[in-house]
Amino acid sequence: MNDVQKSVIVSSFAPEIKTGGQRIMSSPIQFQTFESESTFLHPRKGFSPFTERFEVRVDPLTGRTGHFSHFGAIKPQKLNLDSYATPEIKGFCPFCLENRDKVTPKFTDEVVAEGRLVRNEACLIPNLFPYDIHSGVLIMTDPHVVPLQELNETRLFDSLVLGVQFLKKIKAISPDLPYHLMTWNYMPPSGGGLVHPHQQYFATPNPGNQFLDELKASEGFLNASGANYWSELIEVERATGVRYIGQIGASSWLSSFVSLGILGEILCVFPDVFTVDQFTDGHVGDLVAGLLKIFKYYGATDIYSFNASLFFGPEGQRSFACHFRITARTFLNMRDYAPDLNFFQALLCEPVSVMMPEKLCMALKEYF
């Protein structure tokens, strides 16, 4: 078989955006795409030459690449949520109410004097298997299996408000831990070890490579251009429109130019928030309002699972704005539960997406 591959840069441009008056200025943000194709002799077309297209994009902040290929070939798999509640699959769940008090840990007096933080159904406990100095697990609901449509406004708001309250508390106790973040695996395809809805909250000097790469690049962008990357990104995306989903209060929602997840990625930016102390209940409300819209889209497209993160930068900077990221997850099939991440992500650290960001944006706009 004679494979031919060519690669050309089809767009590497600094978009022009309108400022206050009629003046047009060029943005320092570069969107670079390598549009490529691969030609082979197709077995289902009498072994005649056939050309398949794919793209490699460069993240405008970090400079890391992501592949877009296999378009439309991966369909989200339906999950039988009822089966997760059956005794043989459910097994022992430490987060269920009948076990929670006995088997989950409590915070030390210095951190949370009452042992656990509670707000309605939301309950925050230390992780029995901590990943960091302060490693909180937030149990979001009383029920064990909670479908997306039942992760309602109250449950989301209570969970996020309580989690952010915990981060603010930790920041006051341990101001030497500079970075704060929330992470969230929902349902088994996301890698979550427990079906019972929960989030994790960290205060840490080691927030992970993605966080640190973004932090360094945001600072570099501000130093080089004098502009805040995140505010600039919102302006550029709003002006071009193809990845700008909408605005809710103080938050702007976009589909990311490079997706970390296989089914695309949605980014929510709070351009005026730089540390967790600045994140108010109003910001949580904006985040929840957007999430509910995304969950409607997920519900309509057979998406049952996701990963999400919320990043807060360190004190004394105005380059790294608070942002939330959510990527849908699925099994590739229900026959052998193949995960949707493989050597690309595990060994090449290269995301692959089958969903073009512009298509995802168009689909989501209907819900915003």
Which stretch in 88-96, 108-116, 299-307, 348-356 sits in contact with Zn ion by CB under 5 A?
A: 88-96
Question: Would strands 352-353 and 65-68 be described as parallel, antiparallel, or unpaired?
Answer: parallel
Q: Which is nearer to Zn ion, 192 or 313 (CB)?
A: 192
Q: Which is nearer to Zn ion, 155 or 196 (CB)?
A: 196
Cα(311)–Cα(179) distance, rounded to whole angstroms?
8
**Number of residues lying near Zn ion (CB under 5 A):** 5
Partnered with residue 323 across adjacent β-strands are 269, 311
Residue 103 Cβ, how far from Zn ion at the closest point, in Å? 11
For residue 350, the one-letter residue type is E
* Contact set for Zn ion, span 120-149 (CB under 5 A): 144
Cα(64)–Cα(258) distance, rounded to whole angstroms?
9
Which stretch in 76-84, 191-199, 218-226, 270-278 sits in contact with Zn ion by CB under 5 A?
A: 191-199
Cα(215)–Cα(254) distance, rounded to whole angstroms?
19
Q: How far apart are the first and last CA of the chain?
A: 47
Residue 127 Cβ, how far from Zn ion at the closest point, in Å? 16
CB 309 within 8 A of CB 182: yes
**Can residue 198 be called a binding residue for Zn ion (CB under 5 A)?**
no
Cα(117)–Cα(125) distance, rounded to whole angstroms?
7
Which stretch in 48-56, 124-132, 196-204, 297-305 sits in contact with Zn ion by CB under 5 A?
A: 196-204
Which stretch in 47-55, 78-86, 114-122, 194-202 sits in contact with Zn ion by CB under 5 A?
A: 194-202
Which stretch in 18-26, 188-196, 289-297, 324-332 sits in contact with Zn ion by CB under 5 A?
A: 188-196
**Residue sitting closest to Zn ion (CB):** 93
**Can residue 81 be called a binding residue for Zn ion (CB under 5 A)?**
no
User: Using CB under 5 A, which of 36, 56, 59, 95 touches Zn ion?
Assistant: 95
Question: Would strands 265-270 and 251-255 be described as parallel, antiparallel, or unpaired?
Answer: antiparallel
Residue 139 Cβ, how far from Zn ion at the closest point, in Å? 8
What are the respective helix, strand and coil percentages of the chain, to the nearest 5?
Answer: 30, 30, 40
- Alpha carbon separation from 224 to 227, 232, 339 (Å, rounded): 8, 13, 40
Angle at Cα 132 formed by Cα 131 and Cα 138, nearest 5°? 70
**Can residue 196 be called a binding residue for Zn ion (CB under 5 A)?**
yes
Q: Which is nearer to Zn ion, 145 or 167 (CB)?
A: 145
User: Using CB under 5 A, which of 74, 81, 93, 289 touches Zn ion?
Assistant: 93
Q: Which is nearer to Zn ion, 111 or 194 (CB)?
A: 194
Cα(358)–Cα(166) distance, rounded to whole angstroms?
36
User: Using CB under 5 A, which of 81, 96, 118, 292 touches Zn ion?
Assistant: 96
Q: Which is nearer to Zn ion, 90 or 216 (CB)?
A: 90
Which stretch in 18-26, 76-84, 91-99, 278-286 sits in contact with Zn ion by CB under 5 A?
A: 91-99
Q: Which of 53, 45, 51 is nearest to 70 (CA)?
A: 53
Q: Which is nearer to Zn ion, 94 or 246 (CB)?
A: 94
- Alpha carbon separation from 150 to 167, 210, 292 (Å, rounded): 26, 31, 10
Residue 281 Cβ, how far from Zn ion at the closest point, in Å? 27
Residue 334 Cβ, how far from Zn ion at the closest point, in Å? 23
Cα(236)–Cα(92) distance, rounded to whole angstroms?
49
CB 170 within 8 A of CB 111: yes
In the complex, the residues that contact Zn ion under the rule CB under 5 A are 93, 95-96, 144, 196
